[in-house]
Chain A
Amino acid sequence: MKWMQFFTPAKSLDYDEAESYIAQHPGDQITILDVRQPSEYRQSHIPGATLIPLPTLDERLSELDPEKPTLVY
């Protein structure tokens, strides 16, 4: 059992911090991850966000680069 995955906290960024973080990093150096459903993504998403709905995230983690800072919403 890998307990760490249940307990490792992710730091939270509020809107101003997230917006500033994205503005300061070229798009290819960060991942903006949208874990909502496709219908929600279609309506509105942060430009450049990658859609991987939460229910499929575990099996699709290999599509993401773990070395890049990842902003999740």
Chain B
Amino acid sequence: MLSGKGFKKVFNVSGGIKAWKSKTAIGPQDLGLDLFSGKESCKDVLKVAYSLEQGLREFYVDMEEKAVKFSVKDLFGKLADIEVKHQMSIYLAYTDISGEDVDKQSFEDMVEKKALEGGLSTNEYLGLFKSDLDSEADVISLAMSIEAQALDLYQRVSGKIDDKDSQKIINQIANEEKAHLASLGKLLDSL
């Protein structure tokens, strides 16, 4: 249908979702989109993204405290550290774009805390994925599920944002999530 209607390159993903072995996302197409009105400026987009990363970091820190096994605690700690790096790059992008001389704490004070990255709350995630929190493989798999959900959210949001520069920022963050997902996959393969 698409090829005959002017679409330049159309590929059929053979086997569809059943053949898809990488992480998938769940939920309706508007899941988490209420976090964005679509009218956000670049600065607003960065604030929302920062709050989502903050939610995920707190989730990993919380899991680090709950985990019993040392290696799992360590893994959650590393995952939390990665989110700190994500947050720092978002904060730096904010100061760069806004030109405002704002320190990190003041920026954090401006950020309204939202749902966990990906548009679901911590308990909703844990209920959905039912991971064995004593298993490194399960923990990485859980993190990959969340990152897939975040990637999905950012890509869906990108289509909703009006401002082209804001859209560009969302796409950059989505690409970072994609790279993070790939590195978690490698980590899982290395176990």
Contacts and interface: CB of A to CB of B under 8 A. Distances in A.
Interface in B23-42: 23-29
Interface in A1-48: 2, 4-15, 18-19, 21, 23, 26-28, 33-34, 36, 38, 40-48
Contacts of B149: 47
Interface stretch (B8-16, B80-88, B135-143): B8-16
Most A CB contacts (10 A, CB to CB) among B8, B9, B158 go to B9
Contact of B28 (A5, A6, A42, A49): A42
Contacts, number: 146
Given A41-B28, A46-B25, A66-B8, A8 B13 contact: no
B182 A23 contact: yes
Contact of B175 (A5, A14, A26, A67): A26
Given A70-B2, A70-B10, A73-B12, A27 B178 contact: yes
Interface of B: 1-17, 19-29, 148-149, 151-152, 154-156, 158-159, 167, 171, 174-175, 178, 181-182
* Chain A interface helix/strand/loop/mixed: mixed
A61 B6 CA distance: 10
A73 B17 contact: yes
